């Protein structure tokens, strides 16, 4: 069993799996259950000033599903904690006392003035918590009051509030970013400029999950009306991965620790975030869908993977895929591949044919007896057939060997790397040496 | 009070509760969620093999996608536009040798999409909503006689009515439905579905039901030809082939089709069945009779077929069903004598190879009831025949102008409900085209 011990900003936890600030970490009862189940840490659901906020008394969540009602995406309009500040602080203190080996981070959201930040940071420090996370992410409800994503969408505010936080606590400060912006590097840079010890991302994405076609109202519907919520769950993972990678590979942000969040459901998802630079990960929707027990699979899965790879520390995964994250312009245009259909595996459904013939390059032939084969002189290796094929590994992309002639272009495959920056069709191409 | 051990042919071997459980729906309708899960497994294949395998060419991927997207009524219309008896076919089609055998998931993992059950889900949903999604074209003034209210006749009549023709549908029986009503195992079509389906089909309008009209007894083909613009014959096969062995006429030796018809029409607790039942034959009728004899409470039921298991007309699914209900299947044995004193007591079989050459050994089975299910034949003359069936060319054209035939009475095609529907439908299209040209 590999050593999964995690050290994030000096905060030790037995594994890199934390529960994100959300309903699962709203109170002592849940968090104790989470720690008993094996979670490495929690980010306590966001605290605010008293009088505490209130939530709607109707549905807070909406969802989209895949086959057999597998939950793929979840949307919520729940606000920050709706319990008194003192109650939360007492509970945090007791839980941290009983679980000193687990990470206890407290999420915070108060108005954009220094006094309330100073006030609440002092309170949190008294609990013995390991760190704070500034919630600049929630896109619904609180943002209408000038908090949450309303701060996270303005880099100057991020920098200002982060600076206040750093000035008023000795605890590490993590800044949680909203994805509802155009360039994630700008708010990350602002957080760094303000002195943040780390950023965590992504918070939820503005969303309407569905429309009730009888009521003509967005779901979830409260008395005939619906408000946009924040989208999370497996469906948002690709968006989150990209944003994490954007930060990890930015020259000005190199070294800024990242806590990865966004649709992490399995150990594999977690490992992917870490490979793109996340020092640890935070999970919410998967726990809300299946309960806390999933962490057992995440622990065993990551451990087995690390053993197979011979990694002795989770840090060996962190950032390992970042050097391979490239700009399009640097991709090798001399790499030529062709789709190849394994006739033994093919079940003759014809989806590759329909997809290629109707929507792509007419590069798959279909015989009278339903044998499907690739026309190498038409195939551009787009990969659509691979993606629509229901049989794993039935269609593969095979790289051509340098020296072979591509039957589509009639050109010999070059052994050397060449990209768009030097391509003759690029008006801005640099002259080759 | 009789029980399973009682000798002879008696009623009431099982309690009413046991009978009700035994004759419950073989495949209850899928729930909404089950249907969504099952439909999600469809790959929406290009030029799908299941369509090719369906004798009525139902656009299966389309109707399954319509179910998956929450529009089962639209799915039903897709089905019914090709096969107006799609509800019955969903229940009785040997899907494992048709659409589901061709399903690519059968090739991939041995578990095809549940096409038959999804078809039932869609058609049941539409029929439960009381919707008949077709309407008649403007009246043509043409009158057509359809003889036989089985699957072929009903399909033909509906399509003709839809085209604006007036149809009289004649049948020797007092109830319409043909084999759907009289010839299919009860557990495949519970709750009076066959009649409900006919009632629903008749909603198209323009079809007049004329019961008790038997061709040759109550009406002649000549008279029909004179009175109507066209005639469609969907007579089915009325005659039952005899065993042709000594003692064939002993008491207790019966036709399986009559037993099945009694089962469908009568009260199960009043129906008599033997303790030791032997069914002779290897087709669907033989299996239906054997399984239902067992479900009625017969202690020992043996199905005896003269050739090898692989050559049985009954599908593997049907064979397995029979075995699961406790029916013993003996192959490569043909009857040579029915023994007894007045009533049958034993039936003797000779073991034969696949070419029906006797091995010289025989076996006797105790039997107080024997069902013949060795095929049926047509008792009809007046048209050119092809073997024991009416010869047809193209879409059911017989040797006589203005007379079409389809279903089991016509040569060619498998004797399946779905084939009969296809033939009735196609003959109707041909009749319509012919009348239009005239």
The answer to whether A69 contacts B33, with C-beta atoms less than 8 Å apart, is yes
Confidence of residue B106 (pLDDT cuts 50, 70, 90): very high
Interface test with A, best of B104, B106, B110, B113 (most A CBs within 10 A): B104
Q: What is the pLDDT of residue A1?
A: 83
B6 domain-assigned: no
Q: Is the pLDDT of residue B243 over 90?
A: no
Cα separation, B28 vs B61, whole angstroms: 22
Chain B residues inside the 8 Å CB shell of A67: 37, 40-41
Q: Are residues B396 and B361 in the same domain?
A: no
**What domain range includes position B336?**
241-375
Confirm whether B17 is domain-assigned.
no
What kind and span of H or E run contains A73? strand A71-76
Does B234 share its domain with B259?
no
d(CA A201, CA A216): 33
Rg of chain A over Cα atoms, rounded to whole angstroms, equals: 25
Which domain-ending residue is among B94, B128, B162?
B128
Task: Using DSSP, state whether B246 is helix, strand or coil.
Answer: strand
Specify whether A255 is located in the same domain as A286.
yes
Q: Residue A385's closest CA among A22, B355, A375, A270?
A: A375
Beta strands B376-377 and A61-65, pairing class:
unpaired
Quick one: B284 and B172 in the same domain?
no
Domain-located, residue A154: yes
Average pLDDT score over residue span B32-57: 96
How much is the pLDDT for B387?
87
Q: Name the residue among A351, A354, A391 with its Cβ closest to that of B108.
A: A391
Domain membership flag for residue A430: no
Whether A69 and chain B come into contact, CB under 8 Å, resolves to yes
Q: Of B33, B46, B49, which is closest to A354 when you measure between CB atoms?
A: B46
Residues A55, A91 within the same domain: yes
Residues B154 and B232 in one domain: yes
> What is the chain B residue with the closest CA to A372?
B46
HEC string of chain A equals CCCCCEEECCEEECCCEEECCCHHHCCHHHHHHHHHHCCCEEEEEEECCCCCCCCCCCCCEEEEECHHHCEEEEEECCCCCCCCHHHHHHHHHHHHHHCCCCEEEEEECCCCCHHHHHHHHHHHHCCCCCEEEEECCCCCCHHHHCCCHHHHCCHHHHHHHHHHHHHHCCCCEEEECCCCCCCCHHHHHHHHHCCCCEEEECCCEEECCEEECCCCEEECCECCECCCEEEECHHHHHHHHHHHHHHHCCCCCCCCCEEEECCCCCHHHHHHHHHCCEEEEEECHHHHHHCCCHHHHHHHHHHHHHHHHCCCCHHHCCCCCHHHCCCHHHCCCCCCEEEEECCCCCCCCCHHHHHHHHHCCCCEEECCCCCEEECCCCCCCCCHHHHHCCCCCCEEEEECCECEECCCCCCECCCCCCCHHHCCCCCCCCCCC
Range with the poorest average pLDDT among B60-69, B159-168, B181-190: B181-190
Q: Which chain B residues contact residue A347 at CB under 8 A?
A: 104-105, 107-108
The beta strand positions in A381-421, using DSSP E, are: 395-399
- B316 within a domain of the structure (yes/no): yes
Q: Is the pLDDT reported for residue B242 higher than 90?
A: no
Distance set, CA A256 to CA A53, A88, A133, A191 (Å): 33, 30, 15, 10
Q: What is the pLDDT of residue A412?
A: 97
Task: Indicate whether A272 belongs to any domain.
Answer: yes
How confident is the model over A313-336, as pLDDT tens digits? 999 999 999 999 999 999 999 999
Please report, for the domain that includes residue B120, its CATH number. Answer: 1.10.1060.10
Supply the pLDDT for residue B437. 58
Binned at pLDDT 50, 70 and 90, residue B204 comes out as very high
pLDDT at B89: 97
Q: pLDDT at residue B235 above 60?
A: yes
Whole-number pLDDT of residue A51? 96
Which chain B residue shows the shortest CA-CA distance from A70?
B37
Please give the radius of gyration of chain B, using alpha carbons only, rounded to the nearest integer. Answer: 22
Residue in this structure with the two tokens 């309690």, named with its chain if needed: B15
Distance from CA of A286 to the nearest CA of B (A): 22
B118 and B194 in a single domain? The answer is no
Say if the Cβ atoms of B45 and A390 lie within 8 Å.
no
Q: Are residues A84 and A26 in the same domain?
A: yes
The gap from C-alpha B427 to its chain's centroid, in whole angstroms, comes to 19
- Is A109 a domain residue? yes
Residues B418 and B55 sit within 8 Å (Cβ to Cβ): yes
Q: How sure is the predictor about B380, in pLDDT bands with cuts at 50, 70 and 90?
A: confident
Q: Summarize the confidence of residues A372-384 as an average pLDDT.
A: 98
Average pLDDT on B33-62 reads: 96
What percent of chain A clears pLDDT 70, i.e. is strictly above it? 99
CATH classification of the domain holding A417: 3.30.70.20
Q: How many CB atoms sit inside 10 A of residue A102's CB? A: 23
Q: ipTM of this predicted complex?
A: 0.83
What percentage of chain B carries pLDDT values higher than 90? 87
| CB–CB contact A353 B105 (8 Å) | no
Q: Do B108 and A69 touch (CB under 8 A)?
A: no
Collect all residues from B whose CB is shorter than 8 A from any CB in A: 33, 36-37, 40-41, 43-49, 104-105, 107-108
Q: Are residues B329 and B299 both part of a single domain?
A: yes
Domain total for chain B?
3
Residues A308, A412, single domain; the answer is no
B172 and B110 in a common domain: no
Rounded mean pLDDT, A236-241 = 98
In the predicted model, is pLDDT for residue B19 greater than 60?
yes
Average pLDDT along chain B: 94
Average pLDDT (A139-160) is: 93
Does the annotation count A138 as an active-site position? yes
Q: Would residue B11 count as lying in a domain?
A: no
Same domain, A225 and A150: yes
**Same structural domain, B184 and B277:** no
pLDDT digits (tens, 9 = 90+) for A248-266: 999 999 999 999 999 999 9
Asked if B311 and B344 sit in the same domain, the reply is yes
Q: What is the mean pLDDT of chain A?
A: 96
Angle at the Cα of A327 (from A324 to A333), degrees rounded to 5?
90
B118 falls within a domain? yes
Whether residue A277 lies inside any domain: the answer is: yes
Mean pLDDT, range A141-161, rounded to an integer: 93
State the nearest Cα–Cα gap between B44 and chain A, in angstroms: 8
User: In the listed set A290, A324, A358, which residue is the last one of a domain according to the structure?
Assistant: A324
- Widest pairwise Cα distance in chain B: 68
CATH code of the domain covering residue B178: 3.50.50.60
Domain boundary among B357, B375, B393: B375
Helix (H, G, I), strand (E, B) or coil at B4: coil
Task: Tell me, yes or no, whether A308 and A343 share the same domain.
Answer: no
> Could you tell me if A25 and A15 are in contact, meaning their C-beta atoms sit under 8 angstroms apart?
no
Q: Please name which of B239, B238, B258, B236 lies closest in space to residue B370, comparing C-alpha atoms.
A: B258
Check whether residue B391 and residue B420 sit in a common domain.
yes
Test B47 with A350 for CB contact under 8 angstroms.
yes
My answer on whether A339 and A283 are in the same domain is: no
pLDDT for A268-315, tens place per residue?
999 999 999 999 999 999 999 999 999 999 999 999 999 999 999 999
E strand or H helix at B134? none
Q: Which of A324, A358, A388 is the last residue of a domain?
A: A324
Token pair of A291, please? 């309960």
For residue A89, give the 3-state DSSP assignment: helix
Beta bridge pairs of residue B210: B170
pLDDT > 80? residue B103: yes
* Domain membership flag for residue B4: no
Q: In this structure, what token pair is assigned to residue A108? A: 């915070």
Q: Are residues B285 and B362 in the same domain?
A: yes
Query: Which residue range is the domain that position A379 belongs to?
Result: 328-422
Do B309 and B295 sit in the same domain of this protein? Answer: yes
State whether A36 and A163 are in the same domain.
Answer: yes
Q: What is the CATH number of the domain that holds A217?
A: 3.20.20.70
Sort out which chain A residues have CB atoms less than 8 A from B33's CB and list them.
69
Asked whether the CA dihedral A301, A305, A311, A312 is positive or negative, the reply is positive
pLDDT in the model for residue A431: 61
The reply to whether A210 and A351 lie within a common domain is no
Q: Tell whether B193 is covered by a domain.
A: yes
Q: What is the pLDDT of residue B124?
A: 97
Pair A193, A283 in one domain: yes
User: Which of the listed residues A324, A347, A378 is the one where a domain comes to its end?
Assistant: A324
Q: Is the pLDDT of residue A432 over 60?
A: no
**In 3-state terms, what secondary structure has residue B38?**
helix
Domains held by chain A: number: 2
Rounded to whole angstroms, the Cα distance separating A269 from B6 reads: 67
Specify whether A378 is located in the same domain as A347: yes
In a domain, A124, yes or no: yes
Q: What is the DSSP string of A289-314?
A: HH-TTHHHHHHHHHHHHHHHHT-SSG
In a domain, A169, yes or no: yes
Q: Are A242 and A390 contained in the same domain?
A: no
A68/B37 touch (CB, cutoff 8 Å), yes or no: yes
Q: What is the mean pLDDT of residues B186-208?
A: 95
Residue B70 to chain A, least CA–CA distance (Å)? 13
Distance from CA of A226 to the nearest CA of B (A): 23
Name the token pair of B144.
């057509």
SS3 A37: helix
Number of Cβ atoms within 10 Å of the Cβ of A25: 28
- Rounded Cα gap, residues A38 and A293, in angstroms: 8
> How far from A46 is each of A49, A114, B54, CA to CA, in Å?
10, 18, 60
pLDDT value of residue B1: 74
Question: Could you tell me if residue A254 is inside a domain?
Answer: yes
Residue B23 falls inside a structural domain: no
């Amino acid at each position: 069993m590999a050593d999964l011990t995690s050290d994030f900003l000096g905060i030790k936890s037995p594994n890199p799996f934390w529960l994100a600030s959300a309903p699962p970490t709203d109170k002592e009862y849940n968090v104790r259950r989470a720690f008993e189940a094996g979670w490495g840490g929690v980010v306590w659901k966001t605290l605010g000033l008293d009088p505490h906020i209130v939530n709607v008394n109707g549905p807070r969540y909406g969802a989209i599903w895949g086959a057999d009602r597998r939950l793929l995406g979840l949307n919520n309009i729940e606000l920050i904690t709706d319990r008194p500040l003192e109650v939360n602080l007492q509970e945090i203190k007791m839980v941290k006392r009983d679980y000193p080996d687990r990470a206890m981070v407290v999420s915070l959201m108060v108005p954009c003035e220094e006094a309330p930040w100073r006030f609440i940071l002092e309170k949190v420090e008294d609990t013995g918590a390991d760190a704070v996370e500034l919630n600049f992410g929630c896109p619904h409800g609180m943002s209408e009051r000038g908090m949450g994503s309303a701060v996270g969408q303005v880099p100057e505010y991020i920098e200002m509030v982060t600076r206040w936080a750093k000035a008023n606590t000795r605890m590490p400060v993590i800044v949680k970013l909203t994805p509802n912006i155009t360039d994630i590097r700008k708010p990350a840079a602002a957080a760094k400029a303000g002195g943040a010890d780390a950023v965590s991302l992504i918070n939820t994405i503005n969303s309407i999950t569905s429309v009730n076609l009888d009521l003509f109202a967005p779901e979830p519907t409260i008395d005939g009306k619906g408000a946009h919520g924040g989208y999370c769950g497996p469906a948002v993972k690709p968006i989150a991965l990209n944003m994490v990678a954007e930060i990890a590979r930015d020259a000005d942000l190199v070294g800024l620790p990242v806590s990865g969040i966004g649709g992490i459901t399995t150990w594999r998802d977690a490992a992917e975030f870490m490979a793109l630079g996340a020092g640890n990960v935070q999970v919410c929707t998967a726990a809300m869908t299946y309960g806390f027990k999933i962490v057992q699979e995440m622990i065993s899965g990551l451990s087995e993977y690390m053993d197979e790879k011979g990694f002795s520390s989770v840090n060996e995964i962190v950032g390992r895929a970042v050097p391979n994250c490239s700009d399009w312009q640097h991709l090798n245009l001399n790499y030529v591949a062709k789709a190849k259909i394994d006739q033994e595996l093919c079940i003759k459904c014809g989806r590759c044919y329909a997809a290629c013939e109707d929507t792509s390059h007419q590069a798959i032939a279909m015989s009278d007896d339903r044998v499907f084969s690739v026309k190498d002189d038409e195939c551009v290796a787009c990969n659509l057939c691979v993606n629509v094929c229901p049989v794993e590994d039935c269609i593969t992309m095979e790289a051509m060997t340098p020296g072979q002639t591509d039957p589509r272009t009639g050109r010999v495959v070059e052994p050397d790397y060449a990209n768009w920056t030097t391509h003759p069709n690029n008006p801005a191409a640099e002259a080759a040496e | 009070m009789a029980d399973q051990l009682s000798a002879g042919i008696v009623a009431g071997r099982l309690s009413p509760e046991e009978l009700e459980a035994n004759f419950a729906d073989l495949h209850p309708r899928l729930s909404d969620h089950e249907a969504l899960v099952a439909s999600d497994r469809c790959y929406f294949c290009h030029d799908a093999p299941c369509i090719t395998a369906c004798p009525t060419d139902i656009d299966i991927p389309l109707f399954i996608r319509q179910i998956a997207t929450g529009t089962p009524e639209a799915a039903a219309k897709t089905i019914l536009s090709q096969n107006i008896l799609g509800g019955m076919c969903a229940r009785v089609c040997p899907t494992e040798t048709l659409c589901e055998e061709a399903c690519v998931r059968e090739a991939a993992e041995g578990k095809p999409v549940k096409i038959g059950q999804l078809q039932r889900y869609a058609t049941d949903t539409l029929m439960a909503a009381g919707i008949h999604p077709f309407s008649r074209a403007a009246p043509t003034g043409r009158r057509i006689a359809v003889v036989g209210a089985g699957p072929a006749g009903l399909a033909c009549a509906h399509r003709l009515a839809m085209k604006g023709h007036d149809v009289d549908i004649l049948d020797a029986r007092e109830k319409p439905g043909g084999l759907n009503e009289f010839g299919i195992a009860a557990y495949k079509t519970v709750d009076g579905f066959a009649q409900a389906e006919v009632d629903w089909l008749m909603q198209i309008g323009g079809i007049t039901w004329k019961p008790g009209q038997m061709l040759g007894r109550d009406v002649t083909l000549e008279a029909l030809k004179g009175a109507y613009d066209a005639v469609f014959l969907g007579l089915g096969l009325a005659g039952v082939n005899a065993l042709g062995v000594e003692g064939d006429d002993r008491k207790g030796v019966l036709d399986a089709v009559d037993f099945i018809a009694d089962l469908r029409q009568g009260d199960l607790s009043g129906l008599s069945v033997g303790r030791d039942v032997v069914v002779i034959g290897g087709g669907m009728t033989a299996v239906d009779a054997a399984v239902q004899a067992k479900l009625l409470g017969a202690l020992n039921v043996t199905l005896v077929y003269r050739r090898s298991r692989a050559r049985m007309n009954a599908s593997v699914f049907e064979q397995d069903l029979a075995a699961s209900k406790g029916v013993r299947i003996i192959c490569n044995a043909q009857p040579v004598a029915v023994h007894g004193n007045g009533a049958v007591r034993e039936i003797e079989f000779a073991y034969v190879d696949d070419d029906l050459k006797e091995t010289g050994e025989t076996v006797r089975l105790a039997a107080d009831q024997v069902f013949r299910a060795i095929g049926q034949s047509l008792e009809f003359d007046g048209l050119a025949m092809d073997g024991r069936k009416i010869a047809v060319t193209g879409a059911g054209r017989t040797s006589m102008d203005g007379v079409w035939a389809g279903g089991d009475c016509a040569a060619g095609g498998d004797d399946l409900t779905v084939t009969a529907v296809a033939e009735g439908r196609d003959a109707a299209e041909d009749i319509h085209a012919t009348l239009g040209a005239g």
